[in-house]
Amino acid sequence: MKMSYMVGFGSKYPTQLHHRGASIPSIQVHPAKVGCNEGYANWYPSSKSNPNIHEGAIVGGPDSSDQFSDLRSAYSHLEPTTYMNAAFVGSVAALVGESGADHCWQVPDLNGTTGAAEDV
C-alpha cells in the first residue's frame, strides 16, 4: 500500500480520521455552533478529506488481512487513540533522553525545511 499511518508524514497518509476536531470545519470557516447531531449528520458521512489535518496523529492501520480503507466510518482503523500515540511519544522521548543531546532538535515543517523545535 506504501502509505504512512501517521497523519501528515510522507506523501500518502490517512485523510479521513475518525476525529471530530479534524472532520468538522474550523470556526473561522464555519462560525456557527455545531452540535453533536449536526456534526454526525453533516460531516461524519462525508466522503471528502478532513478539512483539518491532525498532524502527527497515528491511526490504527490495516486490518488482519493487511487491508486499509481510508473511510471515516472505519473507526477502529482511523481513530488517533491515546494508547497508540502515547506509546510512540513515550518511546521517542526515551530515545531522545538516552541520546544525551543538550541541544534543540530540528524538526521538518510542512515545506520540508527545518526549524528549531521550540519554534514549532
Task: Say yes or no to pLDDT of 14 above 90.
Answer: yes
Closest CA to 72 of 92, 52, 96: 52
Q: 117: pLDDT confidence band, cut at 50, 70 and 90?
A: very low
> Cα(82)–Cα(57) distance, rounded to whole angstroms?
9
> Is 98 in the active site?
no
Domain ranges of the chain: 20-119
> Is 119 in the active site?
no
Catalytic annotation, pick one of 79, 98, 103, 119? 79
Give Cβ neighbours of residue 99 (< 8 Å, ≥ 6 apart). none
Read off the pLDDT of residues 26-62 as tens digits, 9 standing for 90 and up.
888 888 888 888 877 888 888 889 888 888 899 999 9
Read off the pLDDT of residues 106-115 as tens digits, 9 standing for 90 and up.
666 655 554 5
